Amino acid sequence: MELTSLIVRGLVIFTVFAVTLLIATYSTLAERKIAGFLQDRLGPDRAGPFGILQPLADAVKLFFKEEFIPSHANKWLFIVGPSLAMLTALMSSAVIPFGNEFSIDGQLIPVQGITVNIGLLYIFGVVSLGVYGLMIGGWASNNKFSLLGAIRAASQNISYELAMGMSIIAVLMLAGSLDLRQIVIDQQDNVWNVVRQPLGCVIFITCAFAECNRTPFDLPECEQELVGGYHTEYGSMKLGLYLFSEYINMFVSSAVIATLYFGGYDVPYLSTLGLDKNIETIIGIVALFGKIFFFIFFFMWVRWTLPRFRYDQLMNLGWKSLIPLAILNLILTGGGILAWEHFTK
């Protein structure tokens, strides 16, 4: 009994992990296909039908490149950098509820890697650790341009973390719980948070773009007008890991945006149809992945539409616009909750 539940739990964790990697892998292809579509060209179509083997070809190319470590670099930390970037990217999908519960033989199996009652804080903690991969990599390269790139990336990430944290607090005030599953259930009972928190939602999505280093906030890379950034000295699969962790982050942020503001696995009015619980769960999972794919597409759409910010514009937006707006949102939410309780009870 104990063992079977352990095996089931292991299977769920393995599936979440595998799906995260698979979607991140195909995001790389999707990015190039969407770039092609937006620029009225085909995109990669040589490797397999419709270019479906392209990610595999990319990985093989990166693995077979020369494994180069600059002679002045700090060897261990040079390797630790990309590993940390990958590790922190992969850790956060563990607490996201990808669906409601399956009931098999009377046993309830939640579709979630680990069920903790502080899921929201866990994600925030992992996000705040993400900056170490970039900083260590940039410093260990022992190159002034890498170091400056690392500092640039780190200051961007820690600036936008603040506004992100404050927009999350408003969600937590509405749901009254740090548990992501509770937040989804709260949205099922009322309305999606995007309706109750339009400002918070915009702030959170903006900060998610900045945390993922995506255009228009891709100054950490910025290869055209500034030198490559923290990964200037990196090559082969170590560079691949840095770039790949960006796609994992994009998947995880899309999942978090969908969970916090767009109802997670909730499909409106589904429970009124009186379907079997397991079928409802499956529809919920499909719905959540639909939302996630939309946001991944949104990330790419913005990337190929908007130009990037200048560095002072980036800092001004973060500190002088988003943080005051997030505080305003907090006050409005608090006042709203008080007024609601006053007039309805």
The three-class DSSP label of residue 237 is helix
Closest CB 233 distance from other proteins, rounded Å: 15
Using CB under 8 A as the criterion, what x/- string covers residues 244-283 for binding other proteins? ----------------------------------------
Q: Is 336 in contact with 328 (CB distance < 8 Å)? A: no
- 3-state DSSP call for residue 184? helix
Encoded amino acid at 249, one letter:
N
Residue 34 or 136: the one with the smaller Cβ distance to other proteins is 136
16-24, 125-133, 226-234, 326-334 -> range binding other proteins (CB under 8 A) = 125-133
Residue 136 near other proteins by CB under 8 A:
yes
Torsion sign over Cα 187, 191, 196, 199: positive
- At its nearest, how many Å lie between other proteins and the CB of residue 101? 22
Coil vs helix vs strand at 102: strand
Range in contact with other proteins (rule: CB under 8 A) among 21-29, 114-122, 195-203, 265-273? 114-122
Which residue in 34, 43, 112, 122 binds other proteins (CB under 8 A)? 122
> Please, where are the H alpha helices in 92-143?
119-129, 131-140
Q: Other C-beta atoms within 10 Å of 48: how many?
A: 12
By CB under 8 A, tell whether 60 contacts other proteins: no
The pairing of strands 99-104 and 107-111 is: antiparallel
Among 91, 150, 222, 257, binds other proteins (CB under 8 A): 150
Residue 85: which of 152, 177, 142, 154 has the closest Cα? 154
Q: Which of 38, 57, 109, 151 is in the footprint of other proteins by CB under 8 A?
A: 151
Neighbours of 10 (CB within 10 A): 10
Complex with other proteins: residue 144 or 277, whichever CB lies closer: 144
The single-letter DSSP state of residue 269 is T
| Binder of other proteins out of 158, 306, 328, 338 (CB under 8 A) | 158
Q: Is 135 in the site for other proteins (CB under 8 A)?
A: yes
CA dihedral over 258, 261, 264, 267, signed as positive or negative:
negative
Q: How far apart are CA 220 and CA 288, in angstroms?
A: 30
In terms of CB distance, is 207 or 292 closer to other proteins? 207
Closer to other proteins by Cβ: residue 115 or 236: 115
**107: which strand partners?**
104
**200 touches 329 (CB < 8 A):** yes
Residue 121 lies near other proteins (rule: CB under 8 A): yes
Phi, then psi, of 105 in degrees rounded to 5: 55, 40
Closest distance of CB 195 from other proteins, Å: 26
Looking at beta carbons only, is 128 or 236 nearer to other proteins? 128
Nearer to other proteins, 29 or 222 (CB): 222
Interface with other proteins, residue 118, by CB under 8 A:
yes
Cα-based angle 340, 344, 345 (whole degrees, multiple of 5): 115
> Is there binding between residue 129 and other proteins (CB under 8 A)?
yes
The footprint of other proteins on residues 297-336 (CB under 8 A) is: 312
Residue 75: CA atoms inside 13 Å, Cβ hemisphere, count? Answer: 3
Closest to other proteins by CB, 154 vs 207, is 154
Please spell the DSSP secondary structure of 29-52, one letter per residue. HHHHHHHHHHTTS----SSSGGGT
* 77 touches other proteins by CB under 8 A: yes
To other proteins, the closest distance from the beta carbon of 35 in angstroms equals: 33
- CB of 131 vs other proteins, minimal distance in Å: 6
Place of tokens 């991969």: 133
| Footprint of other proteins (CB under 8 A) | 77, 116-118, 121-122, 124-125, 128-129, 131-132, 135-136, 139, 147, 150-151, 154-155, 158, 161, 178, 312
